[in-house]
């Protein structure tokens, strides 16, 4: 009797046991091969409103993003389908009490983001006459990104946001991410800029975020770039904004700079940082050459010394300009005071002339 009452209660109240994943990530799994292959990225745009911008994004921009990322990164390929882990839902509750379920619901992660039921792990659904399989995951994919638009999550100057939503329970490697395109009108910018924006966000989804140290591949790449074979590379030389972007001072126009540039470079430095995660094998020969602020280095500390000299030079220039402004302001007030005194004397003389 109690199981029947519980089922009726669930039906009446509409209780959903799955917890919507609004932030952070959950754990999934994927079986992988033992050989490196170009990464296969899947984009889902079903959460975007149908429009010319959505069509252009899906048919023009995102295929270029897939091609670009595949030309730069290799992974151990996923064997079989990439499955989004399914949470407990009504069907599980009903089946516990011997009641069949004929409809599976998509996974709602937020007001603007839904995971299609076809992407979820497979599940057997039954009605009174027959059963069928629903779900099953995404075929021929190593990583998937769900694109949606929710301006409320964005700052005024932010174009897009990315976050991991599923990672491998064993290795920690990201499997799924979300990309919030803050304004769908961004698609109307220059083609190369939009492609660079999505490569930037995919890199975040793949694991380029929150680093707290410089790894060995990154260190070697910096040493090679600046021709300093024994340089001890400091953290803030490579990263900024909490270890989630490359420094625009030393790696100008790199795709992982915090801001989009006119000509973005898909450089070795970003690939090396992803290499240090242990999940990817970059194809360095396909990277763009990056021009550093220092061309040669004959001593281990030349870069740091030049960095200090540059900082002092800029700081000294700013101080000099401020001093000059202060001097001009002081001279202005002195001149104003003199003029006031002269005016006062003229008024006194005028009064004396009148009284005489």
Q: 232-262: per-residue pLDDT in tens?
A: 888 988 998 788 999 998 898 999 999 887 7
Residues forming a β-bridge with 138 = 82
Asked if the structure places residue 340 within a domain, the reply is no
How many domains does the structure of the chain reveal? Answer: 2
**Cα torsion for 31, 36, 38, 42, to the nearest 10°?**
10
CATH number at residue 84: 3.10.170.20
* Residues of the domain holding 236: 208-334
CATH number at residue 278: 3.90.132
Asked if the structure places residue 351 within a domain, the reply is no
pLDDT of residue 263: 87
Residues 64 and 121 in one domain: yes
Last residue of a domain, one of 171, 187, 204: 204
CA distance 150 to 21: 15
Low-confidence ranges of the chain (pLDDT < 70): 1-25, 87-105, 127, 292-315, 341-356
pLDDT of residue 297: 60
Asked if the structure places residue 356 within a domain, the reply is no
Which residues contact residue 203 at a Cβ distance below 8 angstroms, ignoring those fewer than 6 apart? Answer: 255, 256, 270, 274
pLDDT of residue 335: 78
Asked if the structure places residue 120 within a domain, the reply is yes
CA distance 39 to 275: 13
Number of helices followed by number of strands (H, E) in the chain: 9, 14
Q: Computed from CA positions of residues 347, 350, 355, 356, in that sequence, does the dihedral angle turn out positive or negative? A: positive
pTM: 0.75
Residues 79 and 179 in one domain: yes
Q: By C-alpha distance, which of 306, 308, 277 is closest to 294?
A: 306
Q: What is the DSSP letter of 151?
A: G
């Amino acid at each position: 009797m109690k199981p029947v009452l519980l089922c009726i209660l669930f039906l009446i109240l509409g209780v959903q046991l799955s917890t919507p994943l609004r932030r952070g990530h959950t754990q999934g799994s994927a079986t992988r091969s033992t050989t490196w292959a170009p990464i296969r990225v899947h984009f889902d745009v079903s959460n975007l409103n149908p429009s010319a911008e959505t069509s252009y994004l899906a048919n023009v921009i995102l295929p270029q993003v897939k091609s670009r990322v595949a030309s730069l990164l290799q992974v151990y390929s996923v064997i079989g389908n990439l499955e989004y882990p399914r949470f407990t839902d009504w069907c599980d509750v009903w089946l516990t009490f011997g009641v069949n379920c004929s409809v599976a619901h998509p996974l709602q992660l937020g007001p603007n983001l839904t995971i299609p039921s076809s992407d979820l792990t497979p599940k057997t659904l039954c009605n009174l006459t027959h059963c069928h399989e629903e779900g099953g995951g995404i075929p021929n994919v190593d990583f998937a990104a769900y694109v949606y638009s929710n301006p409320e999550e964005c700052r005024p100057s932010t174009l897009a946001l990315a976050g991991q939503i599923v990672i491998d329970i064993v290795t920690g490697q990201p499997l799924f991410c979300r990309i919030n395109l803050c304004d769908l009108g961004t698609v109307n910018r220059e083609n190369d800029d939009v492609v660079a924006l999505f490569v930037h966000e995919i890199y975040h989804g793949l694991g380029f975020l929150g680093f707290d140290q410089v790894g060995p591949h990154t260190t070697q790449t910096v040493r090679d770039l600046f021709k300093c074979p024994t340089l001890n590379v400091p953290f803030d030389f490579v990263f900024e904004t909490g270890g989630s972007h490359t420094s625009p001072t030393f790696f100008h126009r790199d795709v992982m700079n915090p801001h989009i540039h006119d000509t973005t470079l898909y450089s070795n430095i970003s690939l090396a940082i992803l290499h240090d995660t242990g999940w990817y094998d970059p194809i360095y020969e396909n990277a763009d050459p990056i021009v550093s602020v220092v061309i040669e280095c004959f001593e281990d500390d030349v870069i740091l010394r030049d960095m200090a000299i540059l900082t002092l030079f800029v700081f000294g220039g700013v101080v000099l300009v401020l001093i000059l402004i202060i001097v001009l302001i002081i001279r202005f007030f002195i001149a104003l005071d003199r003029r006031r005194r002269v005016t006062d004397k003229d008024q006194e003389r005028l009064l004396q002339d009148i009284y005489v």
